Structure 1
């Protein structure tokens, strides 16, 4: 069985499947995970008066502190990517944690009850990192990102408190608070699954809100014997997994292998094509092989002139694409020199987006237009 065609296809497909593209245009996202709500104060129990003592209230005078079980968080968002790593979105979220313990009220046989719920809307800004631009060898199918957001969170105490012999302390407070959050995550594009624009995400979020008073009631002997309050915090640590789908992400095109050099003929120009990733001017391993082939042909054939011409697709401005095509041409010329071609034999030109191999509309990312042509004459 001849495995060469299969290996060639794999070499062409995998880089395209794994290539991380910045989010461009509208996207939607969602996530679900675990939420740890840090302990907070329930209310100031105050001094143990004779009235409370007679009613059997066992408060020791400190602040009641509520501890929560591990809960859950869910969120959904809609956003827009600007194609340069920046994204902005609006998020809706929901968190819920059941009460585990109520401490610091000195009651024996305490039975904690209730839950804390919070839900709201946040405006977030994200930045997706492309470490390749910094020369850091992170695989292109890993997209780290960070974010931050502000918004409003509604928080409900659903009968949060504790029963004790002869009475109960509880809070059913509800309020809205200013909220802020910090986010760090990793995205893994699922292009290899045949869905361009679909990304699996895993992230950590810290969500906090401004402190506000939590109204608390104390019952003893069947009566409300005290109403009190304390500044109650709301600090959440969340770990989520989710999916993000970008609607306009282009399907990575599999660049056809460069055409084989024509048979050696006198006075016939030979052309080699070197292709580049979107918005990049660095050479892949395959591109270096093609340049090496061109350099070898230039040394062994009767070549009088070597023309190197850089090109770009139409996904950027004409001015930017002109500079990008110049960078690509210079990189290829330097690689030819590294392979033994005299620099004086090479002429370098840059055409920007003016001479596409495949005509497209403005703004379209066409892989075959991101190229450098090496012509041996």
Structure 2
């Protein structure tokens, strides 16, 4: 089972190659966690006798820093398994095997699946294991971790993982014994300084209502279609309640520039008069003549372009 630890270490070493695949947004920060779960011991041989401890439990906590992808943490965990094996009256190992571990863990989150975050990790540290009368057998501890997390709210996460946890051989009454464990742990993790979800984007700017009235060549009189459009503009003004109107006249590029400037102004005034007849107060209407400037369709000089012979009505 110690191959699991080697696999986790090799996977962690290869994390930079995978980092570019991570796409879920997150913020770095310090986190705290509380954890608990089940512990199974296997292959346990003490003083030439095989021991089969019952399913035990574990509980502890973590403090770490999330770099968004890599994580490092310090973990303290207490494990206990009961056993029917009896060695010597009063010895702590009778009927139960207890161990306390303090581990430094290095983990990596695969942030490519939205709120679900698979992760792998490995850890090393020190453990204090039952020996004669108390927890005084100090040994080197190591573990490999494979799990998945779920971020159910900003800064809050639930982890479920499986672990192989082992130590160098503790001693009991002068004899070394093997210590191998499989743990299934659940952790509730809280990250501090995690940013709140970004605010929704501002609504797009709404352009003021606008209308276009078109004219025949070298004319400023209004067609029936133009009068209908001006009626719509007047209705939009009345619906707005409190607004101003700008009527900007344009011409095409045929004819002299000075003549076109005067023609554009006549067209704008014709539209103003029609708006007034439709109930729009004259004092809210501004008239502008631009002549050949502001072409709707770009043309050369001397071109009769119908789209450029127009008045633009803007309600603000």
In the alignment of these two chains, the number of paired residues is: 185
Q: Is the Cα contact below 8 Å between 1:23 and 1:87 reproduced in 2?
A: no
Q: What's the offset of the Cα at 1:34?
A: 0.5
Secondary structure at the aligned position of 1:238 is classed as: strand
Q: Determine the C-alpha separation between the residues in 1 that align with 2:104 and 2:187.
A: 18
Q: Does 1:37 align with 2:41?
A: yes
Residue 228 of structure 2 aligns with which residue?
none
Could you tell me how far apart the structure 2 residues matched to 1:20 and 1:149 are? 26
Match of 1:206 among 150, 155, 164: 164
Give 2:117's aligned residue.
Answer: 143
Offset at 1:88? 0.9
Give the secondary-structure state (helix, strand or coil) at the position aligned to 1:187. strand
Residues 126-184 of structure 1 deviation map (CA, whole Å, 9 limit, x = unaligned): 111122xxxxxx3x01011111111000001477xxxxxxxxxxxx7840100111111
Q: Is residue 184 from structure 1 mapped to residue 146 from structure 2 by the alignment? A: yes
What CA deviation, in whole Å up to 9, does each residue of 1:300-335 have, x standing for no partner?
xxxxxxxxxxxxxxxxxxxxxxxxxxxxxxxxxxxx
Would you say the 8 A contact 1:114–1:158 is kept in 2?
A: no
| Residue aligned with 2:52, SS | strand
Deviations 1:114-134 (A, max 9, x none): 210000211111111122xxx
Q: Are 1:115 and 2:70 an aligned pair?
A: no
Q: Distance in 1 between matches of 2:175 and 2:211?
A: 92
CA contact (8 A) 2:30 2:192 kept: yes
Aligned partner of 1:169 in structure 2 is: none
- 1:213-255 CA distances to partner (integer Å, 9 max, x unpaired)? 432xxxxxxxxxxxxx543111111111121100011111242
- Aligned residue runs from structure 1 range 155-170, under 5 A: 155-157=129-131
Matching residue within 75, 81, 86 for 2:60 = 75
Structure exhibiting the larger radius of gyration computed from Cα positions: 2
1:275-314 to 2 correspondence within 5 Å? none
* C-alpha spacing 1:117/1:23, structure 2 compared with 1 (3 Å): farther
Which blocks of at least 5 consecutive residues in structure 1 are unaligned?
A: 1-18, 44-62, 104-111, 132-137, 160-171, 216-228, 268-377
Report 1:320-331 matches (<5 A). none
Moved over 2 A (4+): 19-23, 100-103, 260-267
Partner of 2:268: none
Structural RMSD (CA): 2.8
Instruction: Give the Cα separation in 1 of the matches to 2:130 and 2:80.
Output: 10
Cross-structure match for 1:233: 178
1:256 aligns with 2:201: yes
Which residue in the other structure is 1:166 paired with?
none
- Unaligned 5+ segments in structure 2 are 1-22, 88-92, 213-316
